[in-house]
Structure 1
Amino acid sequence: MASSSIVLQLPVIVNGSYSLPKARNSHLTISTSFSFRNKWSQIKCQSTSTEEPKTKRNVLDNASNILTNLLSGGNLGSMPIAEGAVSDLFSRPLFFALYDWFIEHGSVYKLAFGPKAFVVVSDPIVARYILRENAFSYDKGVLADILEPIMGKGLIPADLDTWKLRRRVISPAFHTLFLKAMVKVFTDCSERTISKFEKRFETNESGTIELDLEAEFSSLALDIIGLSVFNYDFGSVTKESPVIKAVYGTLFEAEHRSTFYIPYWKLPLARWIVPRQRKFQYDLKVINDCLDGLIRNAKETRQETDVEKLQQRDYSNLKDASLLRFLVDMRGADVDDRQNPSKMRKAQEEIDSVLGQGRTTYECIKELVYIRLIVVEALRLYPQPPLLIRRSLKSDVLPGGYKGDKEGYKVPAGTDIFVSVYNLHRSPYYWDRPNEFEPERFLVSKTSEVEGWAGFDPDRSPGAMYPNEIIADFAFLPFGGGPRKCVGDQFALMESTVALAMLLQKFDVELKGSPESVELVTGATIHTKNGLWCKLRKRPTSP
């Protein structure tokens, strides 16, 4: 998984993408954004206006566009082109630029970028086609290139055949009994974080403490991942370990590679000559050595059985209830070692009613309706990741999307595609008041006025605890959609719900500065440039 921030903004919870690739790689993606004041949802989002942006081209832009058109531009026919793109990419986060070009050029357009042309998709009809209706004609493309050194052939970057095998192994692990047991892990780790905050008040006479909640909740998420996935306590809430430093190092390198113009790390000898690449190799070794030991220990105590029996196992009384334990014990499984004040008050009223001063349980999560809506609305405004990356395996014709070419757009084999989740989630064509923080929006049906889009219907996915891509007909994709949707979505959402509920159970939270002072940056995920500094005050003990 990658980086998460509860935008309140509180930070970090898990974007549920797990893999035991070469066993040597755990892909961590911590991500979730929560916001309680409508104005907070506009942090550094000035570029999300509906006014047509003015494009200025310089020498770099012209050179890039000429090179793109010579090498690949002609293959994409009459598709609208975002020209002058390159220089803008270096001046602000990518998702802001992609949004402006979406408003200017439409739901499907070509992004000229040096020797490559990327197709940017900002339409649920087209996204549904790529992710579900014709999913096996696309792989992870650039994303796989970036993550393969970190994750091997884990679920996220895997080719189709490898993915099918690993998905069959991973999917049964996230069943209800396992998730119920994981709520205890979420609660225990969250209590550790809350206790750390409370200790700060013991030496503070003002009644207010200031914390970087992005950093604090990142540490919480890593502890949860360690215990729930590997039965390993990183202890990152209270200390910094070499493994944690290595994890952050690999994540930063992945983000660096996702946005850097030239893949210099592929050059001969770069891994030994370039300092940051030497550090990357060192970080990988630290992580791999740790994971190898954990997997070796799990195998030594293996109790092999069928998937059906594993799903009926009493995980609440199992000493090691980790995902790793489930995978190792699965008979026939591939476990190769390589492998807003008012909104805040409303939330707290619900927490007090459901939890009181008690602990969070699986059954409590079902009753925390408003808290769950806060989590998904935060993910709508600040999706993690803001882009889904695909590459066409064969020639295809994409739907034109809203206001696009009715004949669609031809894409040749090898075309790299960005499905802009950020654009989808803030599209004025599919969402009312798209830049406002309104958790209640997910309770209301929305009739479609767009041909080919089914609209928004909360009843379309009966039994779902959280809104999903089915309810929104692919206008809402916090965990992707189709067969390669993130398998850990419920794990991530529940973790976020528990952490948020326990924070607000004990504290009032207020952003330290103005919303405009929180600058967003992005690589693989959206996070803050200088931290998410908030003021915490203890709540009066409820009677």
Structure 2
Amino acid sequence: MESEFLSLGLDIIGLGVFNFDFGSINSESPVIKAVYGVLKEAEHRSTFYLPYWNLPLADVLVPRQAKFRADLKVINECLDNLIKQARDTRVAEDAEALQNRDYSKVSDPSLLRFLVDMRGEEPTNKQLRDDLMTMLIAGHETTAAVLTWAMFCLVQSPESEAKVLEEVDRVCGDRTPTLEDLKAMPYLRACLGESLRMYPQPPILIRRALAEDTLPAGLRGDPAGYPIGKGADLFISVWNLHRSPYLWKDPDTFRPERFFEPNSNPDFGGKWAGYRPDAVTGGAALYPNEVASDFAFIPFGGGARKCVGDQFAMFEATVAAAMLLRRFTFRLAVPAEKVGMATGATIHTANGLSMRVTRRTPSGGSGSGAPGAAAKVPATV
């Protein structure tokens, strides 16, 4: 299922950002193979202590660096062609007209189309290509990881799974979910939030100090705080934060209900505002976030450097989960411990997420058909 979710994420990003169908669900394209190669190299560089790839001729003499260069070439050529196509079909309008354009009625609606029309980007614009590459690579793998671990957790929690199925069947039945449907499925959204709490993507955030500063003491730390120098790199363990027993009750337990319950810790002496579900349910947010948790929950970071695609990713994951769970029943095909975990830029399974999949019929809701019964013939993915 992990590989299936990766293909799904890439195809969605391809259509949404580039109006390009990679078709990776049905066949492995050269681009997706190159994307995964680049991701593996990025993970390698983030953990290797010596930046040997900066040495002269390293990209020629070192096999993995030569492969990395070849993978980058495949991706860059693909992006260059997409930018050129958008540039060649650009419709010049003033900024106000472009901002008011209904992109749902454009023949090739995409983020790339908007950027090219708005800014008149040249096909050789390296900044645009680099931005698009970031969206292509980071924009599909993280969502796939959310779905992977949410499915892993749900199938091991029968009570949570039953609540999700009841909600999906009641709200969506057998039709495609709408935005209003997503708003009417708070428990499914909480399950995805809980997946991100337990398996944050990425598990570590890196920030660089732009000036000298002092980190606050935190809980039971040095009252004077911790001075940091200009240029220092700070590694923030999102994993430890999300699984801290000082911030979350039963932190290692998959329990989506926690996001409907207020939570605080008096040991912080008022320095932590706690988690406030009303900041989600009573505000504009549909998902738990750093504001509602006073930065105890930061799967997308926070502040000026927060992920710009957080809402897109969560909407995408919610729709995908709803459409799959309403049609199929998933069960682990191997013991849970055999799935394993491997960390890098994101948290992967170590051995893939092998599951047995049986067809079910949605019950109740807006759909049709009899109550959810599984088909007789199972399939293993």
Query: What TM-score, normalized to structure 2?
Result: 0.83
Asked if structure 2 preserves the Cα contact closer than 8 Å seen for 1:305 and 1:331, the reply is: no
Asked if structure 2 preserves the Cα contact closer than 8 Å seen for 1:394 and 1:414, the reply is: yes
CA distance in 2, matches of 1:500, 1:457: 26
Asked if structure 1 preserves the Cα contact closer than 8 Å seen for 2:215 and 2:226, the reply is: yes
SS in 1 for 2:168: helix
CA distance in 1, matches of 2:248, 2:320: 28
Report deviation, 1:306: 5.6
| Pair 324,332 (structure 1): closer, same or farther in 2 beyond 3 Å | closer
The aligned counterpart of 1:157 is: none
Q: In the alignment, which of 326, 329, 333 is matched to residue 508 of structure 1?
A: 329
Q: In the alignment, which of 6, 16, 38 is matched to residue 250 of structure 1?
A: 38
CA distance in 1, matches of 2:79, 2:119: 21
Asked if structure 1 preserves the Cα contact closer than 8 Å seen for 2:87 and 2:123, the reply is: no
| Pair 426,541 (structure 1): closer, same or farther in 2 beyond 3 Å | closer
Asked if structure 2 preserves the Cα contact closer than 8 Å seen for 1:397 and 1:410, the reply is: yes
Asked if structure 2 preserves the Cα contact closer than 8 Å seen for 1:508 and 1:537, the reply is: yes
CA distance in 1, matches of 2:63, 2:208: 31
Q: Give the counterpart letter for 2:213 in structure 1.
A: D
Asked if residue 264 in structure 1 is aligned to residue 71 in structure 2, the reply is no
Asked if structure 2 preserves the Cα contact closer than 8 Å seen for 1:270 and 1:277, the reply is: yes
CA distance in 2, matches of 1:306, 1:442: 45
Report deviation, 1:463: 1.3
Structure 1 residues without counterparts, runs of 5 or longer? 1-212
Q: Give the counterpart letter for 1:419 in structure 2.
A: I
Asked if residue 436 in structure 1 is aligned to residue 245 in structure 2, the reply is no
Deviations 1:221-265 (A, max 9, x none): 000111111111100000111111111111111011111222111
| Pair 385,262 (structure 1): closer, same or farther in 2 beyond 3 Å | same
Comparing 411-420 and 430-439, the one that deviates more: 411-420
CA distance in 1, matches of 2:77, 2:65: 18
Asked if residue 320 in structure 1 is aligned to residue 113 in structure 2, the reply is no
| Pair 246,332 (structure 1): closer, same or farther in 2 beyond 3 Å | closer
The aligned counterpart of 2:81 is: 293
CA distance in 2, matches of 1:225, 1:332: 22
Q: What fraction of aligned residue pairs are identical, expressed as a percent?
A: 57
Deviations 1:350-384 (A, max 9, x none): 11111111112222111121111111110000000
The aligned counterpart of 1:483 is: 304
CA distance in 2, matches of 1:306, 1:341: 55
Report deviation, 1:314: 2.6
Alignment root-mean-square deviation, CA: 1.8
Asked if structure 1 preserves the Cα contact closer than 8 Å seen for 2:80 and 2:123, the reply is: no
Q: In the alignment, which of 314, 319, 337 is matched to residue 498 of structure 1?
A: 319
CA distance in 1, matches of 2:97, 2:273: 39
| Pair 454,301 (structure 1): closer, same or farther in 2 beyond 3 Å | same
The aligned counterpart of 1:454 is: 273
SS in 2 for 1:410: strand
The aligned counterpart of 2:201 is: 384
CA distance in 2, matches of 1:443, 1:417: 32
CA distance in 1, matches of 2:318, 2:7: 16
Asked if structure 2 preserves the Cα contact closer than 8 Å seen for 1:227 and 1:233, the reply is: yes
Matches within 5 A, 1:55-66: none
The aligned counterpart of 1:371 is: 188
Report deviation, 1:316: 2.9
CA distance in 2, matches of 1:522, 1:405: 31
SS in 1 for 2:289: coil
The aligned counterpart of 2:14 is: 226
Asked if residue 525 in structure 1 is aligned to residue 313 in structure 2, the reply is no
Matches within 5 A, 1:106-505: 213-305=1-93, 309-331=97-119, 337-339=125-127, 340-449=157-266, 450-451=268-269, 452-460=271-279, 462-505=283-326
Asked if structure 2 preserves the Cα contact closer than 8 Å seen for 1:292 and 1:337, the reply is: no
Deviations 1:468-491 (A, max 9, x none): 100000000010000110011000
CA distance in 2, matches of 1:536, 1:243: 28
Structure 2 residues without counterparts, runs of 5 or longer? 128-156, 364-368, 370-381
Q: How many residues align?
A: 331
Q: Give the counterpart letter for 1:439 in structure 2.
A: P
Query: What TM-score, normalized to structure 1?
Result: 0.59
Asked if structure 2 preserves the Cα contact closer than 8 Å seen for 1:304 and 1:328, the reply is: no
Asked if structure 1 preserves the Cα contact closer than 8 Å seen for 2:169 and 2:362, the reply is: no
Deviations 1:374-429 (A, max 9, x none): 11110000000000001223222111111110100111223221111111101111
SS in 2 for 1:377: helix
CA distance in 1, matches of 2:96, 2:278: 30
Asked if structure 2 preserves the Cα contact closer than 8 Å seen for 1:519 and 1:530, the reply is: yes
SS in 2 for 1:234: coil
CA distance in 2, matches of 1:415, 1:331: 35
The aligned counterpart of 2:360 is: 539
Q: Give the counterpart letter for 2:279 in structure 1.
A: R
Report deviation, 1:301: 1.6
SS in 1 for 2:214: strand
Asked if structure 2 preserves the Cα contact closer than 8 Å seen for 1:447 and 1:456, the reply is: yes
| Pair 307,492 (structure 1): closer, same or farther in 2 beyond 3 Å | farther
Q: Give the counterpart letter for 2:81 in structure 1.
A: G
SS in 1 for 2:326: helix
The aligned counterpart of 2:151 is: none
Indicate the structure whose relative CO is greater, using CA pairs within 8 Å and at least 6 residues apart. 1
CA distance in 2, matches of 1:230, 1:499: 20
